[in-house]
Amino acid sequence: MAQESGLTTSPDRTTVCHLCQYPAILSHITLVLDNACYQRCALVQSVADTLGIELLYLPAYSPNLNLIERLWKFVKKHCLYSKCYTDFSAFTPAIEDCLVHTQTMHKQALRSLLTLDFQSFKKAQSLTM
């Protein structure tokens, strides 16, 4: 998660607890999280419970359900594939520019990618041995 200083750090349980406090002013919040251990810890669950936030955990090994993974796939396609940046200072503006244009230039492409409509299999057959 980017800090105000511009440095990038890895998220941890303190970061998740801090994130929980932002939407706490709304009436009902469901925070969708993946299965990272720092998101499932007792501290995060306690803070969320105190703030009245429901924690909804995605199933393990299901990045296709995590919208941020889909957005990152889109950004990589537009900013990384077949492109070479001379250094990090050239790379970061390309990523930032792509993200800035998510609601304008890239809106139509992202509309179908960032949907919550998932295919379900009502009568799935399984093979058992």
| Backbone region of residue 87 per phi and psi (left: phi > 0; alpha: psi in -120 to 50; beta: other values) | beta
Residue 66: predicted pLDDT: 77
Token pair of 35 as six digits: 């299965």
pLDDT of amino acid 33: 85
What are the sequence ranges of the domains in the chain? Answer: 8-60, 66-117
Token pair for residue 34?
């993946």
C-alpha span between 62 and 31 (Å, rounded)? 17
Q: What sections of the chain are H helices per DSSP?
A: 13-21, 37-40, 42-51, 67-79, 88-100, 107-113
In this prediction, residue 106 carries a pLDDT of 86
The parts of the chain modelled with pLDDT lower than 50 are 1-7
